[in-house]
Amino acid sequence: MERITITIEDDLLGEFDEYMERKGYSNRSEGIRDALRHMLSHESEADDDLEKCVGCVSYVYNHKERLLSSKLVETQHHHHEIPAATLHLHVDADNCMEATILSGTAKQVKEMANDIITETGVRYGKLHLIPIK
């Protein structure tokens, strides 16, 4: 293991220290190592669209949006080559949250996630990819 020295603005370091305390890190080194791993894993996500991966696309939508639920199901049928499983949560009287697990190439998973996230009525969506090496 190698020891390094870095310079960080006071405000940023304060935010980082608060984050580490909330998450239960025992020291800054552990927090910085995890932050670097996270940053580098996201960089590698975009490197190879043919790489096998699993992904979780989570999104919030208004279930009263005309035909949206049907369109979201249709999106899964349209991408029948990608195994998918969805967890559904009723957030309040108007909003639902879904987390859909996908498996395929990075390109396939990104395309399906984008099709879901860009549907009219989906208020927020985010894809988390995990490469399978």
Does residue 44 have a pLDDT over 70?
A: no
Residue range(s) defining the domain that contains residue 30: 10-45
Long-range pairs, 95-99, Cβ under 8 A, ≥24: 95/60, 95/61, 95/62, 95/63, 95/123, 96/60, 96/61, 96/62, 96/63, 97/58, 97/59, 97/60, 98/58, 98/59, 98/61, 98/72, 99/56, 99/57, 99/58
**Is the residue at 2 inside a domain?**
no
* Selected residue with higher pLDDT from 83 and 88: 88
When pLDDT is cut at 50, 70 and 90, the band that residue 81 belongs to is: confident
Average pLDDT, the chain: 87
Mean pLDDT within 75-87: 82
Q: 93-127, pLDDT tens digit by residue?
A: 999 999 999 999 999 999 999 988 988 888 999 99
CATH number, domain with residue 41: 1.10.1220.10
Same domain, 73 and 105: yes
The pTM score is: 0.64
Same domain, 74 and 117: yes
**Is the residue at 24 inside a domain?**
yes
**Is the residue at 25 inside a domain?**
yes
